[in-house]
């Protein structure tokens, strides 16, 4: 990452509890266990996920996801992204063949100037909406509080993760 550029990632994924998946990792690979072949997926294809998200969040549309070429893990995964606006993107790792969601992330590229506050607020809205999509019992207020708690806990850290049931944020 370039100095001065902050990148926020909200990642959730189906957890892998399989010892086999961990055993498949070699010291030379850096693939996360939840992205390996055979690791759990959400029971939604990317199209179903997007339709559900858009129905639940009509003011926060997710556009169609487009495949991204990636030779590193091509055999197991399809990676795709959707541009929300100039500084906000959604990206996903999908199970090859079924296109079921293995992970979803929102990437916010902060901007400077008078639009900074509104851009940050929009990014936080999308992040909280993703949380509600995978934890549908949470209210809007609860998902916003959960997001703020995670942002505070992860502030200044290169990597932060929080696990809740089968979901990793």
**Rounded-to-integer distance, Cα 86 and Cα 166, Å:** 32
Which percentage of the chain shows pLDDT scores above 70? 73
pLDDT tens sequence across 76-91: 889 999 999 999 999 9
Q: What is the pTM of this model?
A: 0.76
1 assigned to some structural domain: no
**Rounded-to-integer distance, Cα 103 and Cα 75, Å:** 16
Do residues 47 and 99 touch, judged by C-beta distance below 8 A? yes
pLDDT tens series, the chain, 169 aa: 443 333 333 344 433 333 333 334 343 456 666 666 666 677 889 999 999 999 999 999 999 999 998 767 677 889 999 999 999 999 999 988 889 998 899 999 999 999 999 999 999 999 999 999 988 899 999 999 999 999 999 999 988 888 887 788 8
27 assigned to some structural domain: no
Length, in residues, of the chain: 169
25 assigned to some structural domain: no
pLDDT at 143: 96
Do residues 92 and 101 touch, judged by C-beta distance below 8 A? yes
How many domains is the chain partitioned into structurally?
1
Q: Encoding tokens for residue 169?
A: 């944020």
24 assigned to some structural domain: no
148 assigned to some structural domain: yes
Range of the domain at 88: 8-17+32-168
């Amino acid at each position: 990452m370039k100095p001065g550029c902050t990148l926020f990632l909200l990642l959730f994924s189906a957890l892998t509890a399989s010892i086999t998946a961990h055993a498949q990792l070699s010291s030379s690979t850096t693939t996360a266990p939840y992205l390996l072949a055979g690791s759990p997926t959400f029971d939604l294809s990317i199209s179903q996920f997007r339709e559900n998200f858009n129905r639940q969040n009509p003011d926060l549309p997710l556009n169609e996801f487009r495949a991204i070429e990636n030779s590193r893990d091509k055999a197991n995964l399809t990676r795709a992204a959707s541009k929300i606006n100039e500084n906000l993107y959604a990206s996903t790792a999908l199970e090859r063949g079924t296109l079921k969601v293995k992970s979803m992330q929102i990437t916010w590229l902060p901007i400077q100037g008078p639009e900074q506050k509104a851009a940050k607020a929009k990014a936080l809205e999308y992040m909280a909406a993703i949380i509600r999509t995978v934890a549908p019992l949470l209210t809007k207020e609860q998902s916003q509080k959960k997001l703020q708690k995670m942002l505070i806990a992860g502030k200044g850290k290169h990597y932060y993760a929080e696990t809740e049931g089968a979901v990793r944020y």
